[in-house]
Amino acid sequence: MQLTGDRLSQIQDLLERGMLGFVPEIILSLAVIALLLCDLGRRRIRPAVPGWIAGLALGLAALWIVVNFPAGTSPLFGWLEGSVHKPLLVNDPFAAFFKLFVLAASLVVLPMCMQSPLLNKRSTSEFYALLVAASLGMLIMASSANLLMIYLGIEFASMASYLAVGYFKQDRRSSEAGLKYVIYGSVASGIMIFGLSLVYGLTGSLALDDLASTVTASGMNATALAVASILVFAGFAYKMAAFPMHFWCPDVYEGAPLPFTAYLSVASKAAGFAVCIRFLMAFGPEFRIRFTDYAGLPDGAGFGWKEIIAAASALSMSAGNLAALKQENIRRMLAYSSIAHAGYLLMGVAVLKPDDAGSEQFGALLFYFIVYFLMNLGAFFVVHLVTVRTGEETIESYKGLGRRAPFLAVALTTCLVSLLGIPPTGGFIGKLHLLSEVVEGGLIWLAVVAGINTAISAYFYFKLIKAIHLDKAKDESFPAVAISNRLLVAALVAPLLILGIFFAPVSEWTKGFGL
């Protein structure tokens, strides 16, 4: 392959057009490098400086996306084949939504990191570099339109996360959590790559755009493509903490630095969903595994990815909620609750429809993402504030919080009520939207499973709420919470209540981000 002048100018053109949509990622890359370098100087920098650098970069990146919000789909990078541009990344409203989601989550987590006593010692800049690097990987996940970029994005986010989870190297829990995360994570990504290799073989291309045409062109390979995409789904499920790759979640959530647990439970999950949705959408709705190739089955018998996702959804929520019942550690309880929420969110994915017709379903799903962001980060923020002050993580230690710290208690209760999904919170509206879309999409059994699961989950959410408000504490004292922290908690919890009542504008707004 010789590079002629013509081709060179084509490449130059692609790079220049791509660069503008890629500025947030460039900002984050520079911040990662700056954070890694800033500890090398002779003079010790103040512990707060790396946090501010990270915050500045994340904020700038978010601001750039808001200002240059993509109106339509524009391809970034990639190559030209004939006159067809095969992009590596795409910049569209869907990607922008999830990028902002990830950046906002890391911005909320930053103050938690900066207050955490364990992270407030010397040489913490690596931790912030890892946080920013994980966000960078997730931005790539959200916008990748190529199998290689999907793989690279997932690995980028994962590797930074492995290191961050095991960051407290002298702490047994953190190291063990890191070990489990990295070992099972590499297994999951190995399975995913094997699936990707089969997809590549079946389509002859790494571009996601070529998937759909292959599926419609050759019906006979549907079984192979289905097996391949189930293998790929294993990798996505690991990031989403959904069945069948959810088992790592409680151990990692319990052992990781608490701010990073909060980050994983929101940002990592959302990025996993973003990449999964984009991959599934590339197949189109007609993608079914047909068993007509085999003898003795009626014509057209089979199932499609809708049923596979629905099954994963039902199993995730059941596995999460049932295991959460007997948890005594609040982090483990929230971990199982986050597995269950992966199930609720997958329910929304199962009924997604591509193209413009899907905006209603996308609206419901993305609305639930916003609510999930608020309630899960809100809950983790309160848990963080309590843990920093009491050093305890058991549900036992939350007894009497209502009297010891009324503000935190009310905030945590609101988040828990919303996670459970009862009015007047955003969680209720979000779940209602999702369930109505699921019923409309013809998966009534799944809605019933979700209903039963909500009832089951009431037990453990209310167990905690009861401990907070009704039980008596042994020690009534509680160190004061600074006004800045109160404001941050309020900024997460107040919208949750507002979304429980004035939800219409937001749910209308989220319809605009479909694929």
Q: Within positions 105 to 164, which residues make up the interface with another protein, using CB under 8 A?
A: 122-123, 126, 129-130, 133, 136-137, 140, 147-149, 151-152, 155-156, 159-160, 162-163
Sign for the pseudo-dihedral over CA of 357, 361, 364, 366 = negative
Smallest distance from the beta carbon of 198 to another protein, in angstroms? Answer: 7
Residue among 155 and 209 whose Cβ is closer to another protein: 155
CB-CB contact of 228 with 328 (8 Å): no
Q: Which stretch binds another protein (CB under 8 A): 71-79, 92-100, 369-377, 489-497?
A: 71-79
Residues 411-450 that bind another protein (CB under 8 A): none
What does the CA dihedral 243, 248, 250, 254 come to, rounded to 10 degrees? -160
Q: Which stretch binds another protein (CB under 8 A): 96-104, 179-187, 237-245, 359-367?
A: 179-187
How far does Cα 343 stand from its chain's mean position?
13
Residues 212-231 that bind another protein (CB under 8 A): 218, 220-221, 223-224, 227
Residue among 96 and 160 whose Cβ is closer to another protein: 160
Residue among 172 and 474 whose Cβ is closer to another protein: 172
Which of 113, 141, 177, 242 touches another protein (CB under 8 A)?
A: 177
Q: Which stretch binds another protein (CB under 8 A): 98-106, 177-185, 309-317, 354-362?
A: 177-185
Residue among 139 and 435 whose Cβ is closer to another protein: 139
Pick from 117, 114, 162, 158: nearest CA to 137 = 158
As a whole number of angstroms, the distance between CA 513 and CA 72 comes to 10
Q: Identify residue 122 by its one-letter amino acid code.
A: R
Which of 51, 78, 400, 500 touches another protein (CB under 8 A)?
A: 78
Which of 34, 58, 206, 468 touches another protein (CB under 8 A)?
A: 206
Tell me 267's DSSP state.
I
Smallest distance from the beta carbon of 120 to another protein, in angstroms? Answer: 15
As a whole number of angstroms, the distance between CA 163 and CA 178 comes to 7
Task: Name residue 289's beta-bridge partners.
Answer: 303
Collapsed DSSP state (helix, strand, coil) of residue 74? strand
Residues 319-338 that bind another protein (CB under 8 A): none
Residue among 204 and 505 whose Cβ is closer to another protein: 204
As a whole number of angstroms, the distance between CA 466 and CA 459 comes to 10
Which of 99, 180, 278, 433 touches another protein (CB under 8 A)?
A: 180
CB-CB contact of 147 with 208 (8 Å): yes
- For residue 183, state whether it binds another protein (rule: CB under 8 A): yes
Say how many residues touch another protein, by CB under 8 A.
76
DSSP 278-315: HHHHHH-TT-EEE-TTSTT--TT-EEEHHHHHHHHHHH
Smallest distance from the beta carbon of 509 to another protein, in angstroms? Answer: 31
Residue among 227 and 470 whose Cβ is closer to another protein: 227
> Which residues lie closer than 8 Å to 430 by C-beta, 6 or more apart?
364, 367, 368, 370, 371, 372, 421, 499
Residues 458-487 that bind another protein (CB under 8 A): none
As a whole number of angstroms, the distance between CA 216 and CA 354 comes to 15
Smallest distance from the beta carbon of 30 to another protein, in angstroms? Answer: 10
Q: Which stretch binds another protein (CB under 8 A): 93-101, 201-209, 438-446, 491-499?
A: 201-209
Task: Name residue 75's beta-bridge partners.
Answer: 90
Residue among 118 and 452 whose Cβ is closer to another protein: 118
- Please classify residue 416 by burial: count the beta carbons closer than 10 Å to its beta carbon, then call 0-12 exposed, 13-18 middle and 19+ buried: buried
- For residue 3, state whether it binds another protein (rule: CB under 8 A): yes
- For residue 36, state whether it binds another protein (rule: CB under 8 A): yes
Tell me how long the chain is: 515
- For residue 178, state whether it binds another protein (rule: CB under 8 A): yes
- For residue 29, state whether it binds another protein (rule: CB under 8 A): yes
Place of tokens 């929520």: 317
Which of 193, 212, 439, 448 touches another protein (CB under 8 A)?
A: 193
Q: Which stretch binds another protein (CB under 8 A): 28-36, 53-61, 96-104, 448-456?
A: 28-36
Residues 269-328 that bind another protein (CB under 8 A): 293
Smallest distance from the beta carbon of 155 to another protein, in angstroms? Answer: 5
Phi/psi at 202 (nearest 5 deg)?
A: -75, -30
- For residue 196, state whether it binds another protein (rule: CB under 8 A): yes
Which of 47, 73, 200, 486 touches another protein (CB under 8 A)?
A: 200
- For residue 513, state whether it binds another protein (rule: CB under 8 A): no
CB-CB contact of 305 with 277 (8 Å): no
Which of 17, 73, 74, 176 touches another protein (CB under 8 A)?
A: 176
- For residue 18, state whether it binds another protein (rule: CB under 8 A): yes
As a whole number of angstroms, the distance between CA 77 and CA 158 comes to 23
Smallest distance from the beta carbon of 312 to another protein, in angstroms? Answer: 19
Half-sphere CA count of 426, side-chain side, radius 13 A: 29
The tokens describing 474, both together, are 């042994």
Task: Name residue 303's beta-bridge partners.
Answer: 289
Collapsed DSSP state (helix, strand, coil) of residue 169? coil
- For residue 169, state whether it binds another protein (rule: CB under 8 A): yes
- For residue 73, state whether it binds another protein (rule: CB under 8 A): no
As a whole number of angstroms, the distance between CA 144 and CA 153 comes to 8
Collapsed DSSP state (helix, strand, coil) of residue 84? strand
Smallest distance from the beta carbon of 425 to another protein, in angstroms? Answer: 31
Task: Name residue 84's beta-bridge partners.
Answer: 81
How far does Cα 484 stand from its chain's mean position?
27
- For residue 406, state whether it binds another protein (rule: CB under 8 A): no
DSSP 319-341: HHHHHHTT--BHHHHHHHHHHHH
